[in-house]
Amino acid sequence: MEKNKKLIDKHPGKSPDSRIETELALKIIDGKLPCAVAFDIATGLNVTPTEVGITSDLLNIKISKCQIGLFGYQSNQKPVTAAKEPITALKGALMSAQEENRITCEIAWEIATRLKVGKIAVGSACEAMGIKVKNCQLGAF
């Protein structure tokens, strides 16, 4: 596998965490690490999702299947489309949380949990409302 210098250059002077590296070797799918699997690894090893993302980058493993639906699917297509009409509670929560039409991935997840809606529903509502999700918890964007 050719090294993606862009991934590695994001973390100058860092080395892969050996415990995370071991788990990644067991759980990557088609050379990629699904977002949900990355979070499972973080939970299982009691490390942050960011630490899993850094080790993934250093090993040139791309994150796939973003749980909000923003990236990492076949043919670079997002699985989310703009919701025709986001539910009122979701709309209100996103409006309250957004700053300059942006919301962090972590806050998007918190809203999904609090309102008991799927993360994809939050991604769809963001698309409909023109709100961009930033600061991936794994460091993918």
Write the pLDDT tens digit of every residue in 47-70.
Answer: 999 999 999 999 999 999 999 998
Which of 19, 36, 65 lies at the terminal end of a domain, its last residue? 65
Number of structural domains, the chain? 2
DSSP alpha helix (H) spans, 5-118: 5-9, 18-27, 35-45, 49-58, 88-97, 105-115
Residues 84 and 61 in one domain: no
Residues 58 and 90 in one domain: no
Looking at the DSSP assignment, which residues form a beta bridge with residue 134? 104
Going from the C-alpha of 47 to that of each of 31, 98, 138, the distances in angstroms are 22, 27, 12
Residues 44 and 78 in one domain: no
Residues 103 and 84 in one domain: yes
Looking at the DSSP assignment, which residues form a beta bridge with residue 63? 33
Residues 88 and 138 in one domain: yes
Tell whether the model's pLDDT for residue 122 goes beyond 70.
yes
Helix/strand/coil for 97: helix
- CB contact at 8 A, 131 and 86: no
* Across 9-18, 68-77, 88-97, 101-110, least confident range: 68-77
Mean pLDDT of 73-93: 79
Mean pLDDT of 107-130: 95
Confidence category of residue 1, pLDDT binned at 50, 70, 90: very low
- CB contact at 8 A, 102 and 95: no
Residues 55 and 81 in one domain: no
Residues 49 and 91 in one domain: no
The whole domain housing 23 covers 5-65
pTM: 0.88
Residues 101 and 120 in one domain: yes
- Comparing 70 with 43, which gets the higher pLDDT? 43
Q: Please tell me the predicted confidence (pLDDT) of residue 80.
A: 75
Mean pLDDT of 8-28: 93
Q: What percent of the chain clears pLDDT 90, i.e. is strictly above it?
A: 74
Residues 30 and 81 in one domain: no
Residues 89 and 26 in one domain: no
CA distance 135 to 106: 8
Looking at the DSSP assignment, which residues form a beta bridge with residue 133? 103
- CB contact at 8 A, 46 and 20: no
Q: Please tell me the predicted confidence (pLDDT) of residue 101.
A: 96
Q: Please tell me the predicted confidence (pLDDT) of residue 134.
A: 96
